[in-house]
């Protein structure tokens, strides 16, 4: 079975500082990994994904994520946080060998960037 853990319910960071939102996953095979962001009263917006190749993936709005197979992690990062980055972030996984099984999401991490 596939699963995703986002160990922090809330992350607080000062504007201009680097941010990290953590995600670990569990799949039986190799993963496809995704990050989404949700602003209040909105649906989820796709940020970036890892398919294969380079472990560092760059996405929208200056976000990037690093795939670490040995630690089964896919942490989301940004070098310099903005107040407008404050939102709810979701990590999701799909087993590469499972075809079109649904995306499995973590419970989300609320990021608060303080001016």
The encoded tokens of residue 18 equal 């680097």
Q: Which two tokens mark 50?
A: 């890892």
Between 59 and 78, CB nearer to another protein = 59
Contact criterion met (CB below 8 Å) for 7 and 22: yes
Q: CB of residue 94 vs another protein: minimum separation in angstroms?
A: 5
Decide whether 81 or 108 has the Cβ nearer to another protein.
108
Closest alpha carbon to 92 in 61, 60, 48, 58: 48
Binding residues for another protein, rule: CB under 8 A, are 32, 34, 36, 41-46, 49, 51, 90, 94-96, 98-108
Nearer to another protein, 51 or 56 (CB): 51
């Amino acid at each position: 079975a596939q699963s995703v853990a986002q160990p922090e319910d809330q992350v607080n960071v000062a504007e201009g500082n680097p941010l990290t939102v953590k995600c670990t996953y569990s799949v039986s095979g190799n993963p496809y990994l995704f990050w989404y962001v949700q602003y209040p009263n909105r649906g989820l917006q796709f940020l970036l994904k890892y398919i294969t190749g380079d472990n560092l993936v760059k996405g929208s709005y200056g976000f990037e994520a690093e795939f670490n197979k040995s630690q089964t992690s896919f942490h989301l990062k940004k070098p310099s946080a903005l107040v407008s980055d404050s939102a709810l972030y979701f990590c999701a996984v799909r087993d590469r060998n499972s075809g079109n099984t649904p995306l499995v999401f973590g419970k989300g991490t609320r990021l608060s960037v303080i001016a």
